[in-house]
Structure 1
Amino acid sequence: MNHYTSLSLSAQTAYAQLLDAAQALELARSVANLRGSFASKTVKGNVYWYFQYTELSGRLRQFYVGPDSPQVRELIAQHGDGRPTAALEPLSRSAIALGCAPVLVPHFRVIRRLSDYGFFRAGGVLVGTHAFLAFGNMLGVSWGDTSRTQDVDFAHAGKQLAIALPANIEIDTPAAIDSLKMGFLPLGSSDGKVGGTWLSPRDPDFQLDFITPQHRGGKPYRHAQLGITLQPLKFMEYLLQDVQQAVLFCTDGAVVVNVPHPLRYAMHKLIVAGERGATRAAKSNKDLRQSAALFAYYQQGSDWAAREAWSDLLSRGPGWKTRALRGLTAVDKLAPELAVRGWLESANQEQGR
């Protein structure tokens, strides 16, 4: 099975240029007219940068800039120097022409509008198949499985403050969605307030979902800063650690988003696939194919990283281990050429000791 093909050096360069330009534009739009300073914070061993400023009311505010990297540090160094940023539309079209994967236009408009309202600066993370699409461009590959989804999935750490991106910005998520004039209608939550799912009557398959890690009690979590109720899902906390930045784009332009780490995404899909019932076999198979594609990529150059991530997953407790083994067994049947059986055998040997 051909899980992916490498993008040309020109395509990879075009993506890198688009990411730099989009990050520069986002930073300029966010802080150009504000007096403040940059600061870093270490969360779970990872360093993140944020910008903090004082409102006229005297209240201290801060929003997320990005994970520590040479590119982010360069953007911080350039802050306030007045450098113009390149137009994103031509760069986006160039990246697409060279082979990078674009987002469907209606989906892009939703994601960009939430970005305009500050959703990603408030710690929001794009998850699901759109994150998987972003991974291909990030890693310089084109996925063999080009299946699309009509769901657009967003996550936020919610009560899990230990993994939350540093931010205390407040946004009106329902207003952002309403402003699109695309006809989305919210499903009500049990408390009678706006829930975490929006549906499009024009296209019943076009759905927006807002999710969060499951906390004690397992009830939907009303997030005052976002203005919505988040649906809790088990094991989400694993996915929202070590968040990365990527750029999504279509012919209309580009937008910087937060996405999970690709390896955490692959491992999380093993867990999720084992949780889905028989009635959701199609979605489970998609999860497994995405996990297999990422494993195939990391086996070519960073097999040690995949093995370390696998060992970390097994160490999280019996429930995690049982589901992870179930998911990996399914991947082994789906893509035996990946030779993940060695992981299964080593895990079984440790279990038998």
Structure 2
Amino acid sequence: METKPLSLTARTLFAELREQAVTIGVASDRDSRPGTVVRKSVKGSTYFYYQYRDLDGRTRQTYIGPDNEQTAALLTGLERTTRDEAEDREHLQKLRAAFVAAGGSTIDNAPMRVITAFAEAGIFRPGSGYGVLVGTLAFHAYANLLGVTWASPTRTQDIDVAGPSRIDLAIRRPEKPMPDILQQLAMGFIPVPALDPRTPSTSYRIRGRELRVDLLTPETGAAKEGTQFVPALNAPAQPLRFLDYLLEETLPVPLVGKKTLALVNLPLPERFALHKLLVSESRTSAFATKTAKDREQAFQLLDVLEEEAPDSLELATEDLRQRGPGWRQRLDRALARR
């Protein structure tokens, strides 16, 4: 079975879907979540609040102002904005449904629910320094981005989210730590204990199911034991070698579910492919199955990128080779297996 291109209709629909999703944003900040304006009377005076439901389903309220002309103008603008956002979301859903009907790839409902919650909490805000979806779910997303159907589309329930460990004052932390978001989903997530009981967990799973969430961050310089706190995730994460190369450049892409969609950050596909090759040459024999999957995903991506984006692939390869002899040797060994 070979990688096949999507139809021109599907490619056109996804291009419009991505443009609209990036423009209006699918991942909402708290105060732009769907809600209603409520009126309160306090000691004979009237005040207005914006009322909505939080991630955990509890009702929240944001103060707007007293009953006066200034607040009335704000309410008029809010009503117009709310109406426009509802129309935008309805249009996005129509585009999503049309794209899926045209043959687009979709993510299963359970991981999509988790990713949507992360997006709504602000983890995947577009731009450098925020959370990035990596791993097999990113590989699935590249199929839609590149307009293809993978020859061997590996299904997975694993959700790998990475973020830089450096502290940037311009980065807005998610409103809640990622472990709290998982708990509020009430899906049964439990932390996976670390080897060192003093080390906080960076992995979460649902007992009896394959669904798992791993939080990652680049390991640079000398190897260090333990985890690192990542502001972009508002949680500790497991440092991994070579991840800095993967997160060097990212792009916002809508992740398409069977019923919903969420805007996430993805690594550039050429960096993803080359990073997979580096990782495949760094695993021990105990991880032979994962090594085979890494190579399979990388080679499928390279086949497409060599046709669709050869210049970008060349630049990413040159950047990798300039990072040292160990990087070059791993890449050359992996490419020799192709």
Q: Distance in 1 between matches of 2:264 and 2:169?
A: 13
Determine which of 300, 304, 309 is the counterpart of 2:316.
309
Q: Give, in angstroms, the shift of residue 29 of structure 1.
A: 3.7
Structure 1 position 101 matched with structure 2 position 105: yes
How do 1:65-80 residues align onto structure 2 when only pairs under 5 Å count?
none
SS state of the match for residue 159, structure 2? strand
How do 1:115-134 residues align onto structure 2 when only pairs under 5 Å count?
115-121=119-125, 123-134=130-141
Structure 1 residues 283, 272: closer, same or farther in 2, change over 3 A? same
Amino acid at match of 2:216: I
How do 1:284-323 residues align onto structure 2 when only pairs under 5 Å count?
284-323=291-330
Counterpart for residue 85 of structure 1:
88
Instruction: Note the aligned Cα RMSD (angstroms).
Output: 2.8
Determine which of 203, 207, 213 is the counterpart of 1:201.
207
Amino acid at match of 1:7: L
Structure 1 position 11 matched with structure 2 position 10: yes
How do 1:229-268 residues align onto structure 2 when only pairs under 5 Å count?
229-268=236-275
Q: Distance in 2 between matches of 1:181 and 1:200?
A: 10
Asked if 1 retains the 8 angstrom alpha-carbon contact of 2:274 and 2:298, the reply is yes
CA deviation profile, 1:252-304 (whole Å, cap 9, x unmatched): 21100000000000110110000111121111111111111111112224333
For the pair shown, the structure with the greater C-alpha radius of gyration is 2
| Segments of 4+ moved more than 3 angstroms | 27-33, 79-84, 188-194, 223-227
SS state of the match for residue 252, structure 2? strand
Q: Give, in angstroms, the shift of residue 240 of structure 1.
A: 0.2
Structure 1 residues 265, 166: closer, same or farther in 2, change over 3 A? farther
Q: Distance in 2 between matches of 1:27 and 1:147?
A: 26
SS state of the match for residue 211, structure 2? strand
Structure 1 residues 31, 231: closer, same or farther in 2, change over 3 A? closer
Asked if 1 retains the 8 angstrom alpha-carbon contact of 2:171 and 2:232, the reply is no
Q: Give, in angstroms, the shift of residue 315 of structure 1.
A: 1.7
Q: Distance in 1 between matches of 2:169 and 2:318?
A: 25
Question: So what's the TM-score if we normalise by structure 2?
Answer: 0.76
Q: Give, in angstroms, the shift of residue 166 of structure 1.
A: 5.2
SS state of the match for residue 85, structure 1? helix
Q: How many residues align?
A: 284
Asked if 2 retains the 8 angstrom alpha-carbon contact of 1:89 and 1:251, the reply is no
Structure 1 residues 193, 312: closer, same or farther in 2, change over 3 A? closer
Structure 1 residues 305, 165: closer, same or farther in 2, change over 3 A? farther
Asked if 2 retains the 8 angstrom alpha-carbon contact of 1:243 and 1:258, the reply is yes
Question: So what's the TM-score if we normalise by structure 1?
Answer: 0.73
SS state of the match for residue 169, structure 1? coil
Structure 1 residues 191, 239: closer, same or farther in 2, change over 3 A? same
Structure 1 position 184 matched with structure 2 position 194: no
Amino acid at match of 2:248: Q
Structure 1 residues 85, 282: closer, same or farther in 2, change over 3 A? same
Unpaired runs of at least 5, structure 1: 34-55, 57-78, 333-353
Asked if 2 retains the 8 angstrom alpha-carbon contact of 1:271 and 1:320, the reply is yes
Q: Distance in 1 between matches of 2:161 and 2:104?
A: 23
Unpaired runs of at least 5, structure 2: 33-62, 64-80
Q: Give, in angstroms, the shift of residue 217 of structure 1.
A: 4.1
Counterpart for residue 138 of structure 1:
145
CA deviation profile, 1:65-102 (whole Å, cap 9, x unmatched): xxxxxxxxxxxxxx999574142433222211101100
Question: Identity rate of aligned residues, in percent?
Answer: 31
Q: Distance in 2 between matches of 1:165 and 1:27?
A: 24
Q: Give, in angstroms, the shift of residue 24 of structure 1.
A: 4.1
